[in-house]
Chains A and B, each alone.
Chain A
C-alpha cells in the first residue's frame, strides 16, 4: 500500500532551526513535494525534489533519499508566521499526489 509517515506535531522556538522528517512508501515514485498549510487555508507549494540531495530555497531546504524513502524539510530562522502544518506529498507512478496528515509546527516566542 501507499503510506506517509510524519510526526503529528512539533514545537520550536522563534529564530531556531527545525527539521521535519517524512518517510514514504508509494507505488512508483515521480518526486516529492512539500506544502505548507495554515489553519483553514489551502496548501501552498514549498519545494519539490526528484533527485537525491538537498534543495535550498531561502530559509527552507528540502532533502530527498529515494533509496531510503526519506525526505526532510529544514526551516531556518523560524518566524511566528511559520506556525502551520507541513505536508509531505510524494507523486506515485500515476503522477498522483499521496497525502499524509502533515506535521503541525508550533512556534513559540
Chain B
C-alpha cells in the first residue's frame, strides 16, 4: 500500500518559475525523504527531513514538514530544464525495512 500521495500528478512550468509539489502520508514517521527519477530509471535522493524539523533547505530545494497535517511540500526555486523529472516522497514502513513511495509528481520545465 502507498503511504505517500503526491499532488499534483503533473506540473508544467517555464524555466525560472518555482515548482511546488505536495505529499501527504498516513502513519507516524521518523523522517520523510524526497527522491527524483529521470526517464523512469534509478532514483536520486534529494533531501531528508526529520519529524522534529519543520523546514530544510538544500540549494534550490526547500522542504517543509507539517506532522500535524501529515503533509510535506517540496519547492524548487528558479527551475531549469534539467529539473524535468518525476519527484517522489517516501517514508519508512512500519517494520523499518523499506521505503514506501507515492506515485510521484511529473514535472516538466520548458525553456
Task: Tell me, yes or no, whether A binds B.
Answer: no
